[in-house]
Amino acid sequence: MADAAARWYTDKDRYPTRGLKTGLQARQEPVVHGTPDNGPLAAEQLAAYAQQGFLTFSSLFNPDELESWQTELARLRSDTQTLEQESAITEPGSGELRSIFAVHKTNAILKKLCRDARLVAIARQLLGSDVYIHQSRINYKPGFKGKEFYWHSDFETWHAEDGMPAMRAVSCSISLTENTAYNGPLLVIPGSHCRFLACAGETPENHYKQSLKKQEYGVPDDASLTELVADGGITATTGPAGSVTFFECNLMHGSNSNITPLPRSNVFIVFNSVHNIPQAPFCGRPPRPWFIAEREAFDPLQPASQAD
């Protein structure tokens, strides 16, 4: 599945991290790999994504689709067996459900959402190739109890702990509740994807068991974050239920705790290029479990239409 560029970087770590030093370095590859001719996004949208690192749509779905996914999220959260799954992550302290991973494999209703033809077409265009799903998850952020996700670059973690070689992946966040400025929406630092921020500290063994609740390694330093915010500011990606945000894998992002009565629940899908499949983790630890990072099924994703 590897193209010439992929073969070139398989034996070279271009983004060293988790060592003694922190610091910013220039991105070494394109942000957009496709063109206006091979997908639904116009040239202006591709340019905005290349510059800012994200695109937001008020809605790509009809009300019936949205209602079916909302119903399924509520069912999963009320099902006592959900908490017993290996792929279920709880909040530190309260024990409330925080995330459910690998929903594209374990849930028939959400599997169809993750393969939605409208989403896949955008991912293919941004990445300039066929794609597969590297990771999927539900993030619950219940009213009053939903905790923060601290600032991080997903690529830094996927590179260090999953062995993803290059920045040729895109995350898709689908809001299944209204995301307001107050209930812990996704915060992004526009333009931060154009630099890689190396983080200090050796990755502990089985780091994922702690990091999915509260991340302490792979966390950016204050000085570098201050520089990124000074250059790009901070944008809250708010919107109604059904809104969609595509954001670049190296975009610095996070979210605040939810201290409002208003829940904030999203489905996240990570599309990765078939030319960017993971190798041995660059942190030197064993790969993370199957439900966090795909390591076997790299065949091009077959989109699901509305009629399926």
The pLDDT tens digits for 48-96 are: 999 999 999 998 999 999 999 999 998 988 777 777 787 888 777 667 7
**Residue 89 covered by a domain:** yes
* Dihedral sign for Cα atoms in the order 51, 54, 55, 56: negative
Q: Are 18 and 200 in contact (CB under 8 A)?
A: yes
**Residue 283 covered by a domain:** no
- pLDDT for 11 equals 56
- pLDDT level of residue 308 (50, 70, 90 thresholds): low
**Residue 90 covered by a domain:** yes
Instruction: Give yes or no for residue 6 having a pLDDT over 60.
Output: no
Average pLDDT estimate for 110-126: 97
Instruction: Give yes or no for residue 8 having a pLDDT over 50.
Output: no
Question: Of 154, 116, 142, which Cα lies nearest the Cα of 244?
Answer: 116
The pLDDT tens digits for 144-192 are: 888 888 999 999 999 999 999 999 999 999 999 999 999 999 999 999 9
* CATH code, 80: 2.60.120.620
- pLDDT for 161 equals 92
Q: What is the mean pLDDT of the chain?
A: 89
- pLDDT for 219 equals 84
- pLDDT for 143 equals 87
- pLDDT for 2 equals 41
**Residue 196 covered by a domain:** yes
- pLDDT for 141 equals 87
In angstroms, the CA 200 to CA 197 distance is: 10
In angstroms, the CA 304 to CA 308 distance is: 6
Instruction: Give yes or no for residue 211 having a pLDDT over 60.
Output: no
Parent domain of 233:
18-273
**Residue 10 covered by a domain:** no
The pLDDT tens digits for 232-264 are: 999 999 999 999 999 999 999 999 999 999 989
Number of domains in the chain: 1
**Residue 43 covered by a domain:** yes
Q: Are 286 and 207 in contact (CB under 8 A)?
A: no
- pLDDT level of residue 303 (50, 70, 90 thresholds): very high
**Residue 235 covered by a domain:** yes
- pLDDT for 197 equals 96
- Number of other residues whose CB lies within 10 A of the CB of residue 44: 9
The pLDDT tens digits for 181-196 are: 999 999 999 999 999 9
**Residue 188 covered by a domain:** yes
